[in-house]
Amino acid sequence: MTDKRKKLTIYLHPDDDGQDAKALEVIESVPLRTRGDFFRASVVGGCALYQLDKRLPYLLAMLFDGRLTADQLVGIIEQTTGWQPSTASIRDVIAACGGNIPDSPSPPVQQDGGEGAGKARDNFKRILKKN
């Protein structure tokens, strides 16, 4: 087996750059035992983003303030690559079709379960009326 490992060295400038300072905070929050894995995952993840669009790693680094949300990340990917999700919530689909979404769901329509179900329903209504 050949050893084709590569050692990478980077410099962060936390005094000069807010993103570097936030990144350093995150790095220092990672336990020492797993920092190597974290660095590897960060580089590979950055490469995956770069493969999607060369601008993504730079945009994310520039916008990183320690409060990045999943919605913001998806929005950046959508705006940068033009990607549209292949799935959507039902509310988004209805809104896109120009429909109105009720504030609360309407109760389900009860199917008649036969004569016994009708009697049970009538008995329950009588009990409720007494109280």
pLDDT digits (tens, 9 = 90+) for 25-40: 999 999 999 999 999 9
Task: Check if the beta carbon of residue 36 is closer than 8 Å to that of residue 42.
Answer: no
Task: Check if the beta carbon of residue 43 is closer than 8 Å to that of residue 14.
Answer: no
53 within domain boundaries: yes
109 within domain boundaries: no
Task: Measure CA of the first residue to CA of the last residue in the chain; give whole Å.
Answer: 81
126 within domain boundaries: no
Q: Look up the pTM and report it.
A: 0.61
68 within domain boundaries: yes
Domains in the chain: how many in total?
1
pLDDT tens-place string over residues 44-95: 999 999 999 999 999 999 989 888 888 899 889 989 988 877 777 777 777 7
Domain that holds residue 80: 7-101
**CA 34, CA 116: separation in Å to the nearest integer?**
64
107 within domain boundaries: no
87 within domain boundaries: yes
16 within domain boundaries: yes
